[in-house]
Amino acid sequence: MAVNRIAGVLSEGRSFLLMTHKDPDADAIGSLLALGKALIDAKKEVVLLTEKPVPDVFRFLRGADRIVQVFDTGKDFDAVVVLDCSEIERIGCFPGCLEGRRPLINVDHHETNSFFGDLNLVDPHGSSTGELVFNIIKAADFRFGYEVAENIFAAIQADTGSFKYDNTSSTCLAVAAEMLEYGVKPWEISRKMVAEYSLSRLRLLEMTLGSVEFHHQGKIGIMTISLEMFKKAGAVETDSERLVDYPRFVSGVEIAVLIRERYKDDYKFSLRSNGRANVAELASRFGGGGHAMAAGFEGRGSITVLKSDLMKEAVRFLDGTPD
Ligand SMILES: [Mn+2]
């Protein structure tokens, strides 16, 4: 089994490079930190690498200061572990840093994963990559301590929308419960994760809600955030996280969309489903992917054209989705 083979590589090796996707979420950072700390406790050397500095909102996660953006590229590693990435390109740009580095270990729970690794632990039924990291640590018989547990708990909590999404399984609840035995307090993590937002985020939310539009008999709710709005609110990219949920709270909405301008004429589309529509499939029609209930894609060009393309496809999609 992949999990045992990966555990074997990690047990036998001595030094590892761990990476995750660009624009990381709490599952990405939590998985990176949990596996990193478990390896450190097992007397291994690790480099935890992200494309950009860890977003402020995840800085509270223990060990976050271990994550770097540059490393000695001449260094040899016994394996590279890529966490929570459906495609290898998701790691962002590290020119040459993966060249010739083997084995490449792919640990992910996205349905659309391309199995880019030499070893692939890909489980779309896993609630989160954090849950898969838990399985690896168990299989390798590495130690759990507070730090590992906090990061695994945060990863699972975030990817299940605090145990509300359809990926909340008895398995992930059991793993989360086990993390409490190491001292994790769910209220404390929740408070840090969602209740320590900046005032800028509130200002951004105010403007984002002002942009909401409903289409197709109220089945599609769309909000748009422009660069201008980010500037006015004094907000950063991560301040827009989870805002896409708001249209979903409205009765009758099947698909919620958040369009975020990243650069001029360069947009990130986040899609959420209320259960009927598989938004991963919808996103894949635009070169993106994700999960049935949460997915996304990127688009370049005129926002009017991009939006109308999405609308056309979403309408066709909803009308073709049986009740
Ligand atoms: Mn994830």
Q: What pLDDT digit, counting tens, does each position of 2-16 carry?
A: 999 999 999 999 999
Burial class (CB in 10 A: 0-12, 13-18, 19+), 192: middle
The string over 297-313, giving b where at least 16 C-beta atoms fall within 10 Å of a residue's C-beta and e elsewhere, is bebeeeeeebbeebbee
Can you give the pLDDT at residue 95? 63
Predicted structure pTM score? 0.83
Give residue 159 CA to ligand 1 midpoint distance, Å. 6
Q: Is 288 helix (H, G, I), strand (E, B) or coil?
A: coil
* pLDDT 10s digits, 198-244: 899 999 999 999 999 999 999 999 999 999 999 999 999 889 988 99
Give residue 26 CA to ligand 1 midpoint distance, Å. 8
Give residue 203 CA to ligand 1 midpoint distance, Å. 27
* Domains, in order of start, for the chain: 2-194 (3.90.1640.10), 199-320 (3.10.310.30)
Can you give the pLDDT at residue 238? 85
Phi/psi at 137 (5° precision):
-60, -40
Please state, in angstroms and rounded to a whole number, the distance separating the CA atoms of residues 212 and 12.
53
Can you give the pLDDT at residue 321? 63
DSSP class per residue in 224-286? EE-HHHHHHHT--GGGGTTTTHHHHTSTT--EEEEEEEEETTEEEEEEEESSSS-HHHHHHTT
Averaged pLDDT in 10-residue chunks for the chain of 323 residues: 97 97 94 98 97 90 96 92 94 78 96 94 97 98 98 96 91 98 96 81 97 97 98 93 93 97 96 92 93 92 96 92 59
Give residue 84 CA to ligand 1 midpoint distance, Å. 5
Give residue 5 CA to ligand 1 midpoint distance, Å. 22
Rounded alpha-carbon distances, angstroms, from residue 106 to 1, 79, 209, 223 = 14, 11, 38, 34
